[in-house]
């Protein structure tokens, strides 16, 4: 009896210890994972995105003047260690006429970043959108010559890149110069730059001028849909041409305006393999993943509904797919960390995304230049919700 009683006491003690261990483990697990809903965590948590990725690459965000104050500012300083001016360094806004430069906003963004020890990406030096239209007119209003246009481009790049020399570590030198169509013979976009120069000489020239203006800045070609097979191959041809011509290019910016089903893992890895095979670095420069998908075509013989279907918004199903797509992307991006030098999100939170005014972003990067009505439809594309709280997708990105 005495032995049996002792055994029971030992067993009870072991049982208590076991239960205690299980409870502790459960509490630790809950403590770790209960922050997976945005309502339970604020921006004052111990680590930011930049801290999770400190051994990989800088994590950036596109900013405007409005981002430099208040809640957005606090979130930026907490989460990011790189910023990109969303619009304030583009040619049209910063250089609206030949002898006029609007430095105020760009200077403010640079000063904010420098004061918080945040790296700066410059965006951009040459683009077919938000271009300075005066550049394409000659002294008497006639179409500008190629020679004068390239001189103006040089003057612009020397002024802008030169002003921020030593403060901006990387530039998107040329933006979206590759054609979007499925015509494999048409490599370059038929822009005003291309037409005036009668070819792509402006691309090579822009890289040359940027390097002369700031020899230490890293120089990138930037484009969207760079994972789509046809455009991917066109970009690859451009890159090989630049390298063969000894253009001072350091890497490629893949904009990463993605969707819940695009790109596929295979498309993303193929694009990365092609660029890195040329010895170039990669930056993901404008990342967002809209929850919007194209509407299915109506069934043959049926008539589409006359009334609009109510917007279901950020449903659990859309959330789950967004989480999965972000996880897929970052799992792969980390695998290529020796080639990737930055990942930047395009806007701070779902409170305000550039895609919201463009139908929720169904056109991806092409929406920036689309001549279509600005239909407001929330895209919910980022890692922070409308209250600037971390979404579940955030934790999928940092859970490694």
Q: Point out the residues that are catalytic.
A: 176, 286
Strands, E assignment, the chain = 59-63, 82-85, 119-127, 170-175, 218-223, 251-254, 257-258, 281-289, 340-345
Element holding 148 (H helix, E strand): helix 146-163
Q: Is 91 exposed, middle or buried (0-12, 13-18, 19+ CB in 10 A)?
A: buried
Rg of the chain over Cα atoms, rounded to whole angstroms, equals 25
The closest of 292, 273, 274, 272 to 284, measured between CA atoms, is 272
Q: What are phi and psi of 102, to 5 degrees?
A: -100, 90
Q: Cα(142)–Cα(121) distance, rounded to whole angstroms?
A: 35
Q: Which of 311, 321, 287, 293 is nearest to 392 (CA)?
A: 321
On whether the CB atoms of residues 258 and 211 are closer than 8 A, the answer is no
Q: Sort strands 170-175 and 218-223 into parallel, antiparallel or unpaired.
A: parallel
Cα–Cα distance measured from residue 102 to residue 94, given in angstroms and rounded to the nearest whole number: 5
Dihedral of alpha carbons 266, 267, 270, 276, sign: negative
Q: Kindly give, in sequence order, each residue whose CB lies less than 8 Å from that of residue 15, ignoring residues fewer than 6 positions away.
A: none
Residue that the structure tokens 């403060």 belong to: 167
Task: Count helices and strands (H / E) in the chain.
Answer: 12, 9
Please give the Cα distance from 59 to 397 (Å, whole number): 12
Secondary structure element (H or E) that encloses residue 121, with its range: strand 119-127
Which of helix, strand or coil describes residue 57?
Answer: coil
> Which helix (H) or strand (E) segment is 91 a member of?
helix 91-94
**The two three-digit tokens of residue 323, written as one number:** 């989480």
Q: From its phi and psi, is residue 151 left (phi > 0), alpha (psi between -120 and 50) or beta?
A: alpha
Strand partners of residue 159: none
């Amino acid at each position: 009896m005495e032995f049996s009683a002792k055994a029971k006491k030992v067993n009870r003690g072991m049982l208590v210890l076991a239960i205690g261990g299980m409870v502790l483990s459960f509490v630790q697990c809950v403590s770790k994972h209960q922050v997976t809903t945005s309502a339970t965590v604020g921006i004052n948590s111990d680590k930011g995105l930049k801290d999770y990725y400190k051994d990989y690459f800088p994590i950036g965000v596109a900013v405007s003047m409005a981002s430099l104050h208040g809640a957005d500012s606090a979130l930026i300083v907490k989460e990011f260690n790189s910023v990109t001016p969303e619009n304030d360094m583009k040619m049209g806004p910063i250089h609206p006429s030949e002898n006029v430069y609007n430095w105020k906003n760009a200077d403010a963004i640079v000063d904010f970043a420098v004061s918080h020890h945040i790296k700066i990406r410059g965006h951009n030096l040459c683009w077919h959108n938000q271009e300075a239209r005066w550049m394409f007119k000659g002294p008497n209003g006639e179409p500008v010559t190629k020679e004068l246009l390239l001189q103006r481009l040089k003057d612009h790049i020397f002024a802008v890149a030169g002003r921020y020399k030593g403060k901006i570590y990387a530039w998107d030198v040329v933006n979206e110069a590759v054609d979007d169509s499925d015509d494999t013979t048409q490599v370059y976009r038929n822009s005003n730059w291309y037409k005036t120069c009668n070819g792509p000489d402006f691309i090579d020239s822009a890289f040359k001028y940027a390097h002369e203006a700031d020899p230490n800045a890293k120089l990138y070609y930037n484009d969207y849909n760079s994972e789509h097979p046809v455009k991917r191959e066109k970009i690859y041809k451009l890159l090989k041409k630049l390298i063969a011509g000894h253009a001072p290019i350091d890497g490629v910016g893949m904009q990463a305006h993605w969707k819940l089903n695009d790109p596929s893992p295979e498309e993303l890895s193929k694009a990365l393999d092609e660029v890195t095979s040329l010895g170039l670095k990669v930056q993901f420069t404008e990342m967002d993943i809209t929850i919007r998908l194209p509407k299915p075509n109506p069934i043959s013989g049926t008539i589409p509904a006359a009334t609009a279907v109510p917007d279901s918004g950020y449903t659990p199903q859309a959330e789950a797919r967004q989480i999965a797509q972000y996880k897929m992307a970052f799992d792969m991006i980390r695998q290529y960390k020796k080639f990737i030098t930055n990942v930047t999100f395009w806007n701070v939170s779902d409170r305000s995304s550039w895609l919201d005014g463009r139908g929720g972003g169904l056109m991806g990067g092409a929406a920036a230049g689309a001549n279509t009505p600005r239909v407001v439809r929330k895209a919910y594309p980022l890692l922070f919700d409308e209250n600037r709280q971390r979404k579940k997708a955030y934790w999928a990105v940092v859970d490694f």
